[in-house]
Structure 1
């Protein structure tokens, strides 16, 4: 199934939890709970639906919609009525009047002699709309649900609220295990779309590893075939996924949208972002940036070195959203007029420059996953270094901690071009920047899409090695 390439580990976790429930039948608390969080459109609901369909256990799948408490109770009632729970008819005979009664009544429909699955999707809506919902859920779990052989799966797209649900001091603390569902990684994207390593990294940048967007990329397509098809379709997943996600993430935060667009356009410093966002006040920008960082939409990074720095820079954390904000959002009107060909021309013209910076965080993470090897040690932190004037800018800095390191472990440069390998000029520039940063002979590394034509490096890595870092280690 195309949407679940690379989800074997998550499906295995769900299966193991259901097996644990079965093994505990007859004990005081056989129930298990799993909290799944991840960005919107990442495939959380589809993952659980696939698991439930394959498990064959009695189940109910309820999705909250952000409506009133009464409306949500009606939706839950309908979900139970059309479920496969053996005693679902209870909800035909007695409609619960509140959520305490509803969860108690739901527990009563669950079988005692075999495992069942209860799924509550988009639970942050309930946490936001229903007074004391976390306490209601905790009491229902402690007094009723955990005493049944049930796997309770709680799903949420608001990452910060889902983290809070299981955090210390909150009613549901330590009631469930937690799973973070991320996008498909570059190796999974490459395997799904049958792409070679360089093309797999390109596809990961454009799709962000979102299964819904990847599903539109037919095998045999190259990047430009895919973009031509998607930009010619005003309702394609590539075009609409970002807007729908942003509308759900912060419908009432106009300043946050403006700041996000400014960062997506390529602005990285506080002053430039404020100017690009319409000259908003510093306090407004600070609140908006903190909100975006809290929502995991933006990463706020400091230079990694042995010296403290306040030169914070911002970037859009999700590669797909970064692509969409830079290339798609400004030109949606022309795409809607069926002139996606004009947008495609702009992507072609700006692709090399945009990709050169957008790929760096992904390559740094790839290197962190790959090490240690015969040439370089593992690094607790792999970041970058820059100064306010950019007279020193080092693409890769490996260190023992961040943002202020005790020890620098390696320094490196990224050269991610189709026709130009890392050469002696690049090595000379890297030597100069190392000398300005440290007097120590810190190892030097090159990360290059098209190979290396010079000697004098301690290590060099290309697309194949870096992509392999994302594949599961052999057991």
Structure 2
């Protein structure tokens, strides 16, 4: 069994909150609540399980399943029976038939003189299926649960609904502190899979940092060894995780699925997405992109420059889902009939061009964590720049704000190739594009997978430097 990798910051946050509960035992309101959100399969439940294992205190872990209010209540009763709460038999004796009664009874059975933890996972299901759930939760917390030394963890995968739970116009507003759980970062992946920096970024693009997928990657294996193994296994997490996540969020008949496939195939502009999605109506596409961006599945971006632009572009936000949509989803029938070798050949043919664009958001995020350094300042906003015709395209633009900056702090180019270094031709192209964007001598920088072979740059970064940014304490 692999050791638990990463999540040091998240475990530290949970421990600190729990310590606050422990220190407040005997006061009027020692209870604390944390609203934990993160995309499906990023390992929220595993994180909570590890936290419970380390704290070793009485706890209840209940996971909603998306059933009716009555079914969910039945599942809660079963979870209580399997919990380590000392008074759990009270539930079996009284069998509450309503959620208000269940919350009341839960509060009664929590210890008064020792801390405990109550976890409610997949809270958005309860928000959808149980009438007035948020109001009942708020009353139970204010009047009962917060008066016990309990850490209440409310966990959910629907990011927009979890954010709404704490919004100012909702009953539970300001009753819990928010915590976001992201995927494993490139440094975690490098450690877990025993990979050097450049291959670690490849692994991040393919797995998206999802722990279940990373767990199938043999330590030290390169991306092609992993893909060969995964494509030979019809129940591999690489193959099935995306479909399970999408099915939970979007019904198969939803137009959002078709729009997502169009964006995943590489289309980035509104017009091209509409065409690739079957020529759907403008209003239908607008609503679908709104849903996808609200759920953080798709990112809608504008060029970062000194002037306003309407050239909005869309991309799949999650690297793993982006890989799955581009290479696996269109060929699942081929993979299921054990011809993953054909799929693998197709990936190899397109890998260099696909990776070159897919790595851009990860590079920008790495730079945001890395800077400032001796060569470049920190940038409040890091994005890219493009024109409608793509005759000018700049991979990295650092500015004081976005999308319309008052000041440009640096411009950069990303060259993410196996063998070719960033050379004088690449620098000349970057200088031309700078001249098209601004007359100011904005510093130029380069990010290269395989080194720099020219002079005249203010700064240059490779995989090692980018990976080090993720090892900084945060």
Q: How does 1:194-343 map to 2 (within 5 A)?
A: 194-251=194-251, 254-343=254-343
CA contact 1:3–1:211 (8 Å) conserved in 2: no
CA contact 1:3–1:215 (8 Å) conserved in 2: no
Query: Where does residue 466 of structure 1 map in the other structure?
Result: 466
The CA distance in 2 between the partners of 1:387 and 1:10, in whole Å, is: 40
Query: Where does residue 111 of structure 1 map in the other structure?
Result: 111
SS at match of 2:452: coil
Query: Where does residue 76 of structure 1 map in the other structure?
Result: 76
Query: Where does residue 192 of structure 1 map in the other structure?
Result: 192
Deviations 1:402-451 (A, max 9, x none): 00000011111111001100001001111111111111000000110011
Q: Where do 5+ consecutive residues of structure 2 fail to align? A: none
Q: How does 1:363-442 map to 2 (within 5 A)?
A: 363-442=363-442
Deviations 1:117-144 (A, max 9, x none): 1111101111000111000000000000
Deviations 1:216-254 (A, max 9, x none): 001121110000000111110000000000000111552
Alpha carbon RMSD of aligned pairs, Å? 1.0
Query: Where does residue 6 of structure 2 map in the other structure?
Result: 6
SS at match of 1:311: coil
Offset of residue 368 of structure 1: 1.3
Query: Where does residue 125 of structure 1 map in the other structure?
Result: 125
CA contact 1:32–1:151 (8 Å) conserved in 2: yes
The CA distance in 1 between the partners of 2:206 and 2:177, in whole Å, is: 32
SS at match of 1:411: strand
Query: Where does residue 92 of structure 1 map in the other structure?
Result: 92
Deviations 1:11-54 (A, max 9, x none): 11111222111111110001111110000001111111111122
Query: Where does residue 140 of structure 1 map in the other structure?
Result: 140
CA contact 1:159–1:295 (8 Å) conserved in 2: yes
The CA distance in 2 between the partners of 1:366 and 1:393, in whole Å, is: 20
Deviations 1:277-324 (A, max 9, x none): 000011100000010000100000000000000000000000000000
Offset of residue 3 of structure 1: 7.1
CA contact 1:419–1:450 (8 Å) conserved in 2: yes
TM-score by length of 2: 0.99
CA contact 1:3–1:212 (8 Å) conserved in 2: no
Deviations 1:299-351 (A, max 9, x none): 00000000000000000000000000000000000100011011000011110
Deviations 1:202-225 (A, max 9, x none): 000000000000000011211100
SS at match of 1:175: coil
Displaced runs of 4 or more, over 3 A: 1-4
Deviations 1:253-282 (A, max 9, x none): 521000000000000000000000000011
SS at match of 1:102: helix
Offset of residue 456 of structure 1: 0.8
Deviates more, 1:68-77 or 1:278-287: 68-77
The CA distance in 1 between the partners of 2:438 and 2:210, in whole Å, is: 40
Number of residue pairs matched?
474
The CA distance in 1 between the partners of 2:62 and 2:26, in whole Å, is: 27
CA contact 1:119–1:152 (8 Å) conserved in 2: yes
